[in-house]
Amino acid sequence: MGAFLALLAMLQTSGLAVQRVAVPGPEGVTLDAALIWPAGAARGTGVVALHGCGGPFPDRDGQWAVALARAGHTVLLPDSFGSRGLGSQCGTRDRAVTSSGLRRRDAIAAASWLAAQRGVPAGGVALLGWSDGGSTVLATAKAAPDVPRGLVRSFVALYPGCGATARSRDWRPLARGMILIGEADDWTPAASCREVAARFSREIAFVLYPGAYHDFDAPGRPVRVRSGTASTASGTAHVGTNEPARQDALARVPAFLAGK
């Protein structure tokens, strides 16, 4: 919960309207979430932004929420882990809250809640997520009967784990999407994401950043080797800022959401 409160505090310095809200989630869970409104009437689709395996990352997630709100979007950031009394799950091999399980259901619940809020434009919402949140985006963006028709208008996955999606024989995107990933990413390697995007090249834009690692969009984070990554064979991975990639992503994603 500390990371969520830090995210909320960061958003409250933006000069935009910020609320702490309770979103009904699956299995009776109430999702603690931050909601940030654009200045004036919303011009863009609502966006559900999904944190990575470490939980809310205030500097990274907050910069995106503020940037998107300033571009006219209403942004909802639910906390899947803290809402269940969990901390970081990056070092947990057998997670109770997985991208294709409870997190996917959280995303559907959050998107349904956001779409119903007064002032959020009709026509569906966008999903955006980082790392495990990006994997959740891909799991939720699969055309499936439990996703209400028209709920998801578009999706953006930043450095997701694409292995399960690439291996799936029945995964098809229910909307247009974008995957952004670093060429040097050794936590969630780009190859399987490239495969998914190539398979659905008409629906999914693929952006590969040369020399960029995981968390390339986190501001002011020198590249380092992170330990405790349960999903890598070595238990380590490189993480850190790639400023050209960060700047490009912060410009490219709002343009994509605007249909440009």
Check the CA dihedral 175-164-90-222 and report its sign: negative
**Residues 49, 216, 197: CA angle, nearest 5 degrees:** 70
Of 198, 177, 178, 188, the closest CA to residue 226 belongs to: 188
Rounded Cα gap, residues 193 and 215, in angstroms: 16
Please identify which residue in the block is written with the tokens 């997670």: 95
CA distance 97 to 106: 10
Burial class of residue 101 (count of CB atoms within 10 Å of its CB; 0-12, 13-18, 19+): middle
Go through 1-21 and write b for each residue having 16 or more CB atoms within 10 A of its CB, e for each that does not: eebbbebbebbbebebebeeb
Vertex 255: Cα angle to 120 and 10 (nearest 5): 60
Question: Which superfamily, per CATH, for 2-257?
Answer: Alpha/Beta hydrolase fold, catalytic domain (3.40.50.1820)
Q: Under a CB-based contact definition with an 8 Å cutoff, are residues 6 and 58 in contact? A: yes
Helix-helix angle 102-115:132-140, to 10 degrees: 70
Alpha-carbon span 179 to 157, nearest angstrom:
5
In tens, the pLDDT along 71-105 reads: 999 999 999 999 999 999 999 999 999 999 999 99
* pLDDT exceeds cutoff 90 at 1: no
Tell me which DSSP letter residue 84 carries.
G
Asked whether the beta carbons of 32 and 22 are under 8 A apart, the reply is yes
Per-residue model confidence as pLDDT tens digits over 128-165: 999 999 999 999 999 999 999 999 999 999 999 999 99
| Distance of alpha carbon 37 from alpha carbon 17, whole angstroms | 5
Average pLDDT over residues 42-55: 96
How far apart CA 220 and CA 180 sit, in angstroms, is 19
Q: Tens digit of pLDDT for each residue in 107-123?
A: 999 999 999 999 999 99
Q: Kindly list the domain boundaries of the chain, sorted by start residue.
A: 2-257
Query: The pTM is what?
Result: 0.97
Nearest to 88 by CA among 61, 63, 51, 130: 51
Q: What does pLDDT average to over the chain? A: 97
